[in-house]
Structure 1
Amino acid sequence: MGILNQQFDTVHDTAPFSQIKTEDYLPAFAEAITKAKAEIQDIVDQPAQPNFANCVEALAYSGMELDRISSIFFNLHSAETSDKLDSIAQEVAPKLSELANDINLNLALFERVKAVYKKKDSLNLTPEQQTLLDKTYKGFVRNGALLQADKKERLRAIDAELAVLKLKFGENVLAETNAYQLHITEEKDLAGLPEGVIEAAKGLAESLEKEGWVFTLDYPSYIPFVTYADNRELRKEISLAAGRKAFQDNAHNNSAYILSIVKLRFERAQLLGYNTHAHFVLEERMAQSPDKVNTFLQDLLAKAKPAATKEFEELSAFAKKIDGLKQLEKWDGAYYSEKLKQEKFNLDDELLKPYFKLEKVLNGAFTVAHKLFGLHFTEVQTIDKYHEEVQTFEVTDEKGQLVAIFYADFFPRKGKRNGAWMTSFKPQYKKDGVNERPHVSIVCNFTKPTATKPSLLTFNEVTTLFHEFGHALHGMLANTTYPNLSGTSVYWDFVELPSQIMENWCYEKDALALFARHYETNEAIPMHLVEKIKASASFLEGMATLRQLSFGLLDMGWHGADPTAIADVKSLETACFAATQFYPDVQENAMSPSFSHIFNGGYSSGYYSYKWAEVLDADAFAYFQEAGIFDAEVAARFKEHILSQGGSEHPMVLYKRFRGKEPEVDALLRRAGLLN
């Protein structure tokens, strides 16, 4: 028995990363899959009549060893991958898909679940048990339990194929990101760039044994370049490179994969009796239907477009005034937005960054969590980690009881995908009288410390850290019985509420006072800067809103209608972006081939949920503001009714219990300055 298949002999049952070898994974998966199948068979072969405990509950606790191994493996595949892990992922993904289908299409198992489901009204279940039973029964139906044998086989084939296609999509995006370098050898081409950005580019060039400076498509390199570099041609070059990721005539082109993925998803939905993939997905979301999502997106579009149009005209006039620019292009947007922001607010990231040293910001997030929810974070060196840069923390409550283990992984490196995300290595659940506490991780790609400077965050990176930390709190404060209803196991259009609400504290002077201090002088951030941060929060918010809406509309374009006639990725995009586009189109660029959220992540038919959750978070934070941003009673309500409940009840029920009413769209429009 390999190390991954045993109870871990570690502090708090944490993953023993240093003891796991790459060659351990395949045999560990094989053994855990065999065990999971045996656990299912035991439920089926149970001589007693099916009841909630021996069927539905037993199923909820089955396959936990496999889930744990999968969490460890796939988290590393995102944060610390290698060619070997890539090939293991390609081999394992279809096997896991096959197992899921073995369970979902197991007629004898389904018959037992159905027998319990039919008696649900007489079982006297708790709300969480009721949710588990509904979710379990629906899970079978939504995965083909009622299909004829030939259609079940087709469903299996589709799922196995999709598992591989999604992985391939992600690997291509990573390969394209890693393949590009903007190598600068002339110092004049660095004009406009902040000192820290130049230093980081110099360090990267040295590590690659090159002269000069190297910039890449990794966000901490790419975003500052297009925001600050005066050299318009170089901004254009790197912007075009970002825009053609996985859309070039090479081995990493994702166009064919996209068409295959959307057509297979559509076929799958039709097999199961749904009009489209979006109809299938949205049945298990707060939004419920594509019509409701499209109405929501179009309603916001109508309200935000006048402001966005005015903002684009102002930005165009500004670029013309200062540089004689006749036409704003995509590679000009961030650059002139930053210049206009500086003119309006005299506020740029370089002015703010010295006050946002990473360690201070992280401690600030910890302090906010302490003031709101009574949590204590203690860094410990006794917990194994998968990379030396990872930090590990014990999280305890006011009584000193363990709440969670928290991992933080902040810097870009080869083998780590772009972006920022929260994940977990072990969920919270209750079993045999023990409340098992979760092991939660946030993974980001922030600017690395250099030889002369610590990691200083842009304000956008500060909000990103608080955002992912909000997801982490949702995982850490979980207090449900079943692992599959715990923490972030909620409807996708609800999952962003705990993360997005945390961003609000970054704009509040009482919160900033806790951590925004100059890294050299320890001077608190001046109040005039805090006022400017607050004032600039809705700067170009109309354009930012339209950008987000465009992604949601593109997602629905791929998944909300029959895609079988779509032959060209670019044409579909052009149609979807028509109502939201301000910049001239670039023919050789397309977003879909690197739109990992919907083709490799879990956001297909769900990208609208960022805006949906913004409505929730604006409405919820307005409640905090009414009482005071650290009000103990509102915080306790948020912890009790939202953070600790996971997916144990319908999210609107939980939200109304917290807030006393349904959320209002106007709360978002008011905060964004888009209400007349």
Structure 2
Amino acid sequence: MKTVLKNGASALILAMVGAVAPMTVMAADAPVQVAQAETKVTSENPFFQEWKTPFGVPPFDAIKPAHFRPAFDKGMADHLAEIKAITDNRQAPTFANTIDALEKSGRLLGDVSRVFFNLTASNTNDELQALQRDMAPLLADHSNAINLNAALFKRIDTLYAQREKLKVTAEQRRVLERYHLDFVRAGAQLEGQDRERMAAVLQRLAVLSTQFSQNVLADEKEYKLVLSSKDELVGLPDFFVAAAAQAAKDRGDDGKYVVTLSRSSIEPFLTFSANRPLREQAWKAWIARGDNGDEHDNNAIITEIVQLRIERANLLGYKTFAEYKLADTMAKTPQAVSDLLLQVWEPAKIRAAEERDEMQKLAAAEGQNITIEPWDWYYYAEKVRKAKYDLDEEQIKPYFQLDKMMEAVFYTATQLFGVTFTEMKDAPRYHPDVRVYEVKDRKGQHVAVFYSDNFARPSKRSGAWMSSFRDQERLSGTVTPVVINNNNFAKAAEGEPTLLSFDDATTLFHEFGHGLHGMLSNVTYPMFSGTSVLRDFVEFPSQILEHWISQPEVLQRFAVHYKTGEPIPKELLDKILATQTFNQGFATVSYTSSALVDLAYHSLTDAKGLNPDTFERETLDKLGMPKEIVMRHRSPHFSHIFSGDGYSAGYYSYMWAEVLDADGFNAFKEAGNIFDPKLAQKLYENIYSAGGAVDPMDAYVAFRGRAPKVDALLENRGLLGVGSRVN
């Protein structure tokens, strides 16, 4: 997953809306004390000083929560002053005095925003969360003050009308077109009451999105399933027991074992626990995040978000939010998205039914008089895998040490793109678990700084994502990126290596693919830096990198036993590779149902009176959702689509990008070399370094030599030829 915090004026602010209450009013009878306090804060505030850190990374050891509000206030004031300078310019609009000036504006606000929102995601606390709630409407107002600025848009619009005659580079032409489109889509052409209403809608959406994400985090933070008796540990492998003991210790339950709602904790528990009632208890807690009828319940928030998004779309001339959102994607229309998802939905259901029947037979053969329920799926799927392939997760994990898998992603990047990674042990970091690396190119020149934050903790939101503390650009000189990857792996006991599942290792490669997209960026304008591409293209660089984790050349080198140091046996490796399409009916149904429900929410023309639980259930019933499978992200904790606009009406993007990544990796297989130098260079030039400076389909064709074919996706998922919808 990619979290977007961009450079540049409107680009940055548009990305921030939905991520961050009323402005604090100071007492009028204390001017002297306030002035003194402000002077002290300003003189000590790291955001108002040059960062004399290695490569200018944030000085986390010096940044305190109290520094953020003054920095936000000054950053917004400076930004508005810069915008006013543009609009007050009496000279006719030029690319330099308007677009370049816009791209250079808001630097302080960008710096403080990127540090703040990365911390609220990765290592938050009550003080930061309170400020996040306070800042949400203020940043939305700031966004509106720029994106609905009539004088500013008039200058952009004038240049846009002259674009055919302007002497600009291809990237500059695209920057101008992008700015014009972004402003139009933000409501710059609205007038009067419509303009005012758009501002109010965006402000309210920012507040609701922040509240949604904090509610999910609260439910995840507060829940723990404490295990203490031997009966409660039956079936759980040593690596899980050790991680659960560490989780218990971290939460003040020494001598016991804790299962959390982190995916890296809950999924192994559901996979191995022989205690069916406990599996049911844990599973129900997992799917009920944000849906418990308490102060953290998200259902009313969802209803209001969906209705406000409909109104936003209507103000801009669209019938539905999906039509509005998808107009600025590769897919273009809801119908195109629906066609893609339904092409795999029916064959996935057929395959899932076959998988369920296999599990049901196995349970009956063991003398279990049960009907497979959702909390049984992981458990019996693992049993089927062991019976079918003589393979289980407990055999695999000892060969997938986190440290060795980090070496594997670095090796892959080096072989493909020539970049190397050297740990910076003394670099500032915001948490002791974070590791920091300098990235260099083939010539030994500095390229980027990479922050790796891999472990779950109560102060971190769930999931896995990439973001940045600074984006690459050349408009303001040579600016190198500072990129961060976040995962939520269960940390091993002290002194023991953290062991990953194969899925965890794949996630590591996925997020590192996003990371490389940011680190290898080579553009002039901040607007197009790194991952600043269309939403349904942003997952391609991350997903294509996943393919290298399953390649024998990588696994034989880095999948070594944590005790013996012996490389993974060929027999075991062959079994792992043979199971790549195992349980893909379940995985595809789980994902695709989420994407279809997302599309259904945002295809509504009226959400008044919407009950999300009912809507979700009725939508799934119409689709014929198997009762033994639940959506990968149920509505009340579907942060992709309700914690900001990022993936709203866009969760399909992973599958859209999978068409590209499956077809794209086939090029390396066809070349007979997974590190083919010519293909790697094309991948670098057209995808990883190009950012958003090139149309995504043009970029893909330049890399692959032709348009993508969907057959590769279906084949990878083991669905080719399954069901009537597949030709």
TM bucket (normalised to shorter chain) is: over 0.9
Q: Give the alignment partner of residue 103 of structure 2, picking from 60, 81, 86.
A: 60
Q: Which residue of 1 aligns with 2:33?
A: none
Give the Cα separation in 2 of the matches to 1:451 and 1:393. Answer: 23
Kept after mapping to 2: 8 A contact 1:61/1:482: no
Give the Cα separation in 1 of the matches to 2:669 and 2:180. Answer: 41
Q: Which residue of 2 aligns with 1:70?
A: 113
Q: Which residue of 2 aligns with 1:349?
A: 393
Tell me how far 1:314 sits from its aligned partner.
2.2
Q: Greater shift after overlay, 592-601 or 634-643? A: 592-601
Give the Cα separation in 1 of the matches to 2:267 and 2:219. Answer: 17
Using a 3 Å threshold, how does the CA distance of structure 1 residues 585 and 571 change in structure 2: closer, same or farther? farther
| CA deviation map 1:27-55 (0-9, x unaligned) | 00000000000111111112221011111
Q: Which residue of 2 aligns with 1:554?
A: 597
Q: Which residue of 1 aligns with 2:139?
A: 96
Q: Which residue of 1 aligns with 2:578?
A: 535
Give the Cα separation in 2 of the matches to 1:466 and 1:67. Answer: 28
Q: Greater shift after overlay, 389-398 or 215-224? A: 215-224
Alignment of 1:275-290 (within 5 A): 275-290=319-334
Q: Which residue of 2 aligns with 1:398?
A: 442
Kept after mapping to 2: 8 A contact 1:93/1:163: yes
| CA deviation map 1:573-610 (0-9, x unaligned) | 112222252225899x9921011111004110000011
- SS in structure 1 of the partner of residue 66 of structure 2: helix
Q: Which residue of 2 aligns with 1:624?
A: 668
Q: Give the alignment partner of residue 459 of structure 2, picking from 412, 415, 423.
A: 415
Alignment of 1:453-472 (within 5 A): 453-472=496-515
Kept after mapping to 1: 8 A contact 2:212/2:298: yes
> Partner letter of residue 671 of structure 1?
N
Q: Which residue of 1 aligns with 2:702?
A: 657
Give the Cα separation in 2 of the matches to 1:442 and 1:211. Answer: 32
> Partner letter of residue 5 of structure 1?
F
Q: Which residue of 1 aligns with 2:264?
A: 220
Please tell me whether residue 666 in structure 1 is matched to residue 724 in structure 2.
no
Q: Greater shift after overlay, 301-310 or 502-511? A: 301-310
Tell me how far 1:653 sits from its aligned partner.
0.8
Q: Which residue of 2 aligns with 1:503?
A: 546
Tell me how far 1:103 sits from its aligned partner.
0.7
Please tell me whether residue 599 in structure 1 is matched to residue 637 in structure 2.
no
- SS in structure 2 of the partner of residue 450 of structure 1: coil
Q: Greater shift after overlay, 319-328 or 601-610? A: 319-328
TM-score by structure 1 length? 0.97
Tell me how far 1:478 sits from its aligned partner.
0.2
Tell me how far 1:136 sits from its aligned partner.
0.5
- SS in structure 2 of the partner of residue 550 of structure 1: helix
Q: Give the alignment partner of residue 39 of structure 1, picking from 70, 73, 82.
A: 82
Tell me how far 1:566 sits from its aligned partner.
4.6
Tell me how far 1:220 sits from its aligned partner.
2.4
Q: Which residue of 2 aligns with 1:610?
A: 654
Q: What residue ranges of structure 2 are gaps of 5+ in the alignment? A: 1-41, 722-727
Please tell me whether residue 173 in structure 1 is matched to residue 206 in structure 2.
no
Alignment of 1:221-300 (within 5 A): 221-300=265-344
Give the Cα separation in 1 of the matches to 2:404 and 2:604. Answer: 47
Alignment of 1:463-482 (within 5 A): 463-482=506-525
Q: Which residue of 1 aligns with 2:167?
A: 124
Alignment of 1:310-329 (within 5 A): 310-329=354-373
| CA deviation map 1:231-250 (0-9, x unaligned) | 00000011111121111121
| CA deviation map 1:332-386 (0-9, x unaligned) | 0111011111111122222111111111110111011000000010001232111
Give the Cα separation in 2 of the matches to 1:358 and 1:416. Answer: 19
Please tell me whether residue 133 in structure 1 is matched to residue 181 in structure 2.
no
What percent of counterpart residues are identical? 42
Q: Greater shift after overlay, 129-138 or 300-309? A: 300-309
Kept after mapping to 2: 8 A contact 1:11/1:382: no
Tell me how far 1:211 sits from its aligned partner.
4.9
| CA deviation map 1:614-646 (0-9, x unaligned) | 111000000111111111110110000000011
| CA deviation map 1:299-338 (0-9, x unaligned) | 2223433323322222322233224344111100111011
Q: Which residue of 2 aligns with 1:518?
A: 561
| CA deviation map 1:193-244 (0-9, x unaligned) | 0112112222333441455322221222211111100000000011111121
Kept after mapping to 2: 8 A contact 1:440/1:475: yes
Tell me how far 1:663 sits from its aligned partner.
0.6
Kept after mapping to 2: 8 A contact 1:312/1:582: no
Kept after mapping to 1: 8 A contact 2:523/2:693: yes
- SS in structure 2 of the partner of residue 444 of structure 1: strand
Give the Cα separation in 1 of the matches to 2:119 and 2:239. Answer: 29
Give the Cα separation in 1 of the matches to 2:212 and 2:345. Answer: 30
Please tell me whether residue 571 in structure 1 is matched to residue 614 in structure 2.
yes
Kept after mapping to 2: 8 A contact 1:422/1:442: yes
Q: Give the alignment partner of residue 308 of structure 1, picking from 348, 352, 357.
A: 352
Kept after mapping to 2: 8 A contact 1:517/1:524: yes
Give the Cα separation in 2 of the matches to 1:590 and 1:334. Answer: 16
Please tell me whether residue 637 in structure 1 is matched to residue 679 in structure 2.
no
Please tell me whether residue 436 in structure 1 is matched to residue 479 in structure 2.
yes
Count of aligned pairs between the two proteins = 674
Kept after mapping to 2: 8 A contact 1:328/1:583: no
Q: Give the alignment partner of residue 186 of structure 1, picking from 220, 223, 229.
A: 229
> Partner letter of residue 363 of structure 1?
E
Q: CA RMSD in A?
A: 1.7
Q: Greater shift after overlay, 513-522 or 135-144? A: 513-522
| CA deviation map 1:506-532 (0-9, x unaligned) | 111011122111122211111111111
Tell me how far 1:409 sits from its aligned partner.
0.7
| CA deviation map 1:387-413 (0-9, x unaligned) | 111101000001111110000011111
Tell me how far 1:109 sits from its aligned partner.
0.5
> Partner letter of residue 702 of structure 2?
R
Using a 3 Å threshold, how does the CA distance of structure 1 residues 670 and 205 change in structure 2: closer, same or farther? closer
Give the Cα separation in 2 of the matches to 1:234 and 1:182. Answer: 9
Using a 3 Å threshold, how does the CA distance of structure 1 residues 574 and 357 change in structure 2: closer, same or farther? same
Give the Cα separation in 2 of the matches to 1:50 and 1:257. Answer: 43
Give the Cα separation in 2 of the matches to 1:350 and 1:416. Answer: 27
Give the Cα separation in 1 of the matches to 2:576 and 2:168. Answer: 49
Q: Give the alignment partner of residue 72 of structure 2, picking from 25, 29, 35.
A: 29
| CA deviation map 1:237-279 (0-9, x unaligned) | 1111112111112111100000011001111110111111111
Kept after mapping to 2: 8 A contact 1:194/1:228: yes
Larger RCO of the pair (alpha carbons < 8 Å, separation 6+): 2
> Partner letter of residue 244 of structure 1?
A
Using a 3 Å threshold, how does the CA distance of structure 1 residues 140 and 451 change in structure 2: closer, same or farther? closer
Kept after mapping to 2: 8 A contact 1:81/1:415: yes
Kept after mapping to 1: 8 A contact 2:245/2:493: no
Kept after mapping to 1: 8 A contact 2:358/2:384: no
> Partner letter of residue 37 of structure 1?
L
Q: What residue ranges of structure 1 are gaps of 5+ in the alignment? A: none
Kept after mapping to 2: 8 A contact 1:244/1:590: no
| CA deviation map 1:144-186 (0-9, x unaligned) | 1111221111111111111111111111111111222212221
Kept after mapping to 2: 8 A contact 1:566/1:572: no
> Partner letter of residue 188 of structure 1?
D
Using a 3 Å threshold, how does the CA distance of structure 1 residues 71 and 586 change in structure 2: closer, same or farther? closer
